[in-house]
A and B are shown apart, each in its own frame.
Chain A
Amino acid sequence: GQQLNQSPQSMFIQEGEDVSMNCTSSSIFNTWLWYKQDPGEGPVLLIALYKAGELTSNGRLTAQFGITRKDSFLNISASIPSDVGIYFCAGLLIQGAQKLVFGQGTRLTINP
């Protein structure tokens, strides 16, 4: 089946540092989504990308939809303690029904 390879699996950084994570796939996606999950909660949508090459920002978050449609990255600038959590990429396939495929997640830990 389709798989998204998300990296890194975990990150330990100092408050104030920038963060970068990415997802790659062997399949082509027509939409990329980035979610964040806090402990005990469901994933919450951060950014949605709909077009190859698209670069979208949401506050300190920036995400890009790769030109090949097979990858996406998420950057967080000037990290703060509330950025702690698990970040998931998700892709929507071009063909088939409205099924999101999720990456394995990047667990972000921030040292104050």
Chain B
Amino acid sequence: DARVTQTPRHKVTEMGQEVTMRCQPILGHNTVFWYRQTMMQGLELLAYFRNRAPLDDSGMPKDRFSAEMPDATLATLKIQPSEPRDSAVYFCASGLQGGTEAFFGQGTRLTVV
């Protein structure tokens, strides 16, 4: 059963700490998206990659957020230093180049206190 896997599912951290979220895209998918979901803003695209190269990260605060794909099976989203306003659910999604559908993971619920 192919699915996008995200870890951890939940993370509570103190303000100022570094947070790293991980995503394993569906095998064979070469496009990976990072979304953030909040009550106020809904689903916002933070960044996305194709064939491990960043295509668009205009939705991501550059001063504290960074996204990478060390290899085709792992995408990471890092926040350093974290702030309370970063509290949200972060979703990773993957898809195929030329395809239109994005398949979502279960998300990482981040709480920064």
List residues of A whose CB falls within 8 A of some B CB: 31, 33, 35, 40-45, 48, 50, 88, 92, 97-105
Contacts and interface: CB of A to CB of B under 8 A. Distances in A.
Contact of B95 (A40, A41, A43, A98): A98
A33 B99 CA distance: 12
Interface of B: 4, 31, 33, 42-43, 45, 48, 50, 55-56, 91, 93, 95, 97, 99-107
A50 B48 contact: no
Contacts of A102: 42-43
21 contacts: A31-B100, A40-B106, A41-B106, A42-B4, A42-B91, A42-B93, A42-B104, A42-B107, A43-B91, A44-B104, A45-B101, A48-B101, A88-B43, A97-B48, A98-B50, A99-B56, A100-B45, A102-B42, A103-B42, A104-B42, A105-B42
A78 to B, nearest CB: 26
Given A42-B91, A42-B107, A100 B56 contact: no
Nearest to B103: A45
Contact of B48 (A45, A98, A103): A98
Contact of A42 (B45, B48, B95, B105): B105
A101 B42 CA distance: 11
B48 to A, nearest CB: 7
Contacts of B93: 42
A104 B31 CA distance: 24
Contact of A98 (B4, B100, B104, B107): B100
Contacts of B100: 31, 33, 48, 50, 92, 98
